[in-house]
Amino acid sequence: MATAADRTGTADAADIAAMRRAVALASRGLGSTSPNPVVGCVVLDASGHEVGAGWHERAGGPHAEVHALRQAGVLARGGTAYVTLEPCNHTGRTGPCAQALIEAGIARVVYAVGDPDPQATGGAATLRAAGVEVTAGVLEAEAEAGNAAWLTSVRLGRPYVLWKYAATLDGRVAAQDGTSRWISSPESRADVHRLRAEADAVVVGSGTARADDPHLAVRGIEGAVQPLRVVVDTGATAVRPGARVLDDAAPTLIAVAEDAAPDLPGTDVVRLPRAGGGLSVPALLAALHERGVRSVLLEGGPALAGSFVAAGAVDKVVGYLAPVLLGAGPAALAGAGITTLTDALRLEITETARTGPDLRITAVPATPKER
């Protein structure tokens, strides 16, 4: 982990530029590295020219540092390596990166975020002990944001949860008669496929499964790793043989109560304790975490999203607001256990963007002092 003393190492404009590129490279691994983090690495030679770059592409594959060092070859000697996460110190499916950097003759290592994983931390100390100059904390906030899913899962012991919904400008996610296709634009729907590709699992409630028969797989993104499709179906009655979510486009898991009797031969089922409006959200997240899921895209509907909010298990919200009015129909969120304004979950908007005619708003729970 980075200590206050580490941060005294000075970073100049070249350091920041190289780290920014490493952060961008890291993001290419989103959706395909779990249970590992996304990591990017850039190697500059002794005169400051880029001679290697890489990112962690998939779990079990070489770490970012190894890709970048291979590309750099002998030119790494005396150079600087920029890594978005503290180089690992342990031998897992691949060797320790701290050692690989030392063996390549790297003179200086600059990293953004300390490794909170107790198994992997200690890379900075190993590097220093070998005489490598180490600077920590460069572009830390950007690198943290890029690795939010993995860092959250390590710190909280549960997957990171992004709740997304598509609503009319008056906040409705379906019409009074239950019709909901399509509230948002083709551009917004394409953007959702990107979110699915970046997630390890896509989760919906039984109400959505019944109303929409959703498919939940990624379409239109070449090379995307398909997420695990999860339906939270307490009584095992909403997902029936022939449901679109059961096709072979992606793996599927049906979460049911311990006493349910699912009739879905060949389908992966997990049994969970009941709580509140259905199944226990913490138990669901624990079961997914155990299966290596580090990030969840929660696609609703309102009742399930309400239970996640009530459980304090929403880390980011992405709302697609379509310039459409309905005047009746369900609101985006229900049953979150909030009855008075002082209990409202206050958010901080981190981004606004246009997706075709729609507005995409990204927000995260405000830190306690901002609420």
Ligand X SMILES: NC(=O)c1ccc[n+]([C@@H]2O[C@H](COP(=O)([O-])OP(=O)(O)OC[C@H]3O[C@@H](n4cnc5c(N)ncnc54)[C@H](OP(=O)(O)O)[C@@H]3O)[C@@H](O)[C@H]2O)c1
Q: Tell me which residue has tokens 């790793």.
A: 225
User: Which part of the chain contacts ligand X (CB under 6 A), choosing from 69-77, 90-98, 201-209, 350-358?
Assistant: 201-209
> In the window 107-136, what residues touch ligand X (CB under 6 A)?
none
Q: Secondary structure of the chain: what % helix, strand, coil (to 5)?
A: 30, 25, 45
By three-state DSSP, how is residue 7 classified? Answer: helix
Q: Work out which of 147, 153, 180, 252 binds ligand X, going by CB under 6 A.
A: 180
Output the smallest distance, CB 355 to ligand X, in A. 13
Q: Does 174 bind ligand X (CB under 6 A)?
A: yes
Beta partners for 166? 320
Distance CA 177, CA 235 (A): 24
C-alpha closest to that of 40 among 153, 147, 151? 147
Would you give the binding string for ligand X spanning residues 45-84, x where CB under 6 A is met?
Answer: ----------------------------------------
Would you give the binding string for ligand X spanning residues 8-47, x where CB under 6 A is met?
Answer: ----------------------------------------
> In the window 205-244, what residues touch ligand X (CB under 6 A)?
205-208, 211-212, 232-235
Nearer to ligand X, 185 or 206 (CB): 206
> Which pair of tokens denotes residue 141?
């906030």
Q: Tell me which residue has tokens 């895209």.
A: 297
Size of interface with ligand X, in residues (CB under 6 A): 32
Nearer to ligand X, 82 or 165 (CB): 165
Distance CA 37, CA 35 (A): 7
DSSP string of 116-164?
A: --TTT--HHHHHHHTT-EEEE-TTHHHHHHHTHHHHHHHHHSS-EEEEE
Contact 83, 38 (CB under 8 A): no
Phi then psi dihedrals of residue 94, to 5 deg:
-130, 165
Nearer to ligand X, 115 or 233 (CB): 233
C-alpha closest to that of 119 among 38, 287, 1? 1
Contact 11, 31 (CB under 8 A): no
Output the smallest distance, CB 83 to ligand X, in A. 38
User: Which part of the chain contacts ligand X (CB under 6 A), choosing from 46-54, 63-71, 199-207, 342-350?
Assistant: 199-207
DSSP string of 302-354?
A: HHHHHHHHHTT---EEEEEEES---SSS-BS----S--SGGG---EEEEEEEE
Nearer to ligand X, 74 or 325 (CB): 325
Q: Going by C-beta distance under 8 Å and a sequence separation of 6 or more, which residues neighbour residue 174? A: 180, 183, 211, 301, 329, 330
Q: Work out which of 102, 173, 202, 313 binds ligand X, going by CB under 6 A.
A: 173
Nearer to ligand X, 25 or 260 (CB): 260
Q: Work out which of 44, 75, 166, 260 binds ligand X, going by CB under 6 A.
A: 166
- Active-site positions read 65
Q: Does 319 bind ligand X (CB under 6 A)?
A: no
Nearer to ligand X, 142 or 299 (CB): 299
Output the smallest distance, CB 280 to ligand X, in A. 7
> In the window 271-310, what residues touch ligand X (CB under 6 A)?
276-279, 281, 299-304, 307
For ligand X, the binding residues (CB under 6 A) are: 165-166, 173-174, 178, 180, 183, 204-208, 211-212, 232-235, 276-279, 281, 299-304, 307, 330, 334
